């Protein structure tokens, strides 16, 4: 259970809960799925957030379906501008991870606290053509890839690594 200082109890020891901001240009599919996966991860180590440089007016229905299936609250399934997280009153991020190729090339805001950054690119599932089953499969594939990387991140001894080592390890997860 998280405490007010961001630590959570875990097997008799206190573990830090890490804030992760997932960025994708429109914040309507990949980043929403990543936010839900991180926030509902069984390790309890993460609080996921998502945003985009040019947020959409709506979350893709297939991304929303996945988030809700994970048990993520519908009220949190909304497209947001990254400007919400670049202000001093926003939660301080430990990680900023881009999940689409467009956002990886954009000039990002200066994030308070010098978070670890990485690019975990995935194809845009909203571009899948065909039946709803074909589209759901594309979204599921992205979800599974994100899940592998978040699982690998949760397995890292983050509390025992220095910033440079964490940066290196998180960037290596792009290949997982």
Q: Catalogue the active-site residues.
A: 24, 100, 108
Strand order from edge to edge, sheet including 18-23 = 46-51, 18-23, 95-98, 116-119
Answer whether 118's CB lies under 8 Å from 174's CB: yes
**CA neighbor of 112 nearest in space, from 87, 81, 95:** 87
Q: CA–CA separation, 104 vs 91, rounded Å?
A: 22
Within the chain, strands assigned E span 7-10, 13-16, 18-23, 46-51, 95-98, 116-119
19 φ/ψ angles, rounded to the nearest 5 degrees: -90, 130
3-state SS class at 106 = coil
Q: CA–CA separation, 56 vs 106, rounded Å?
A: 17
């Amino acid at each position: 259970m998280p405490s007010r200082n961001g630590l959570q109890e875990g097997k008799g020891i206190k573990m830090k809960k890490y804030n992760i901001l997932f960025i994708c240009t429109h914040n309507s599919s990949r980043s929403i799925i990543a936010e839900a996966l991180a926030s509902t991860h069984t390790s309890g180590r993460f609080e996921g957030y998502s945003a985009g440089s040019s947020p959409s007016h709506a979350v893709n229905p297939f991304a929303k379906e996945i988030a809700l299936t994970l048990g993520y609250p519908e009220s949190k399934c909304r497209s947001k501008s990254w400007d919400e997280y670049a202000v001093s009153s926003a939660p301080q991020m430990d990680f900023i991870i881009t999940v689409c190729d467009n956002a990886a090339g954009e000039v990002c805001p200066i994030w308070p606290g010098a978070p670890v950054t990485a690019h975990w690119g995935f194809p845009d599932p909203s571009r899948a053509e065909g039946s709803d089953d074909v589209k759901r499969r594309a979204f599921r594939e992205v979800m599974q890839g994100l899940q592998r990387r978040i699982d690998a991140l949760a397995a890292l001894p983050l509390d025992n690594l220095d910033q440079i080592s964490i940066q290196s390890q998180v960037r290596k997860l792009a290949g997982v």
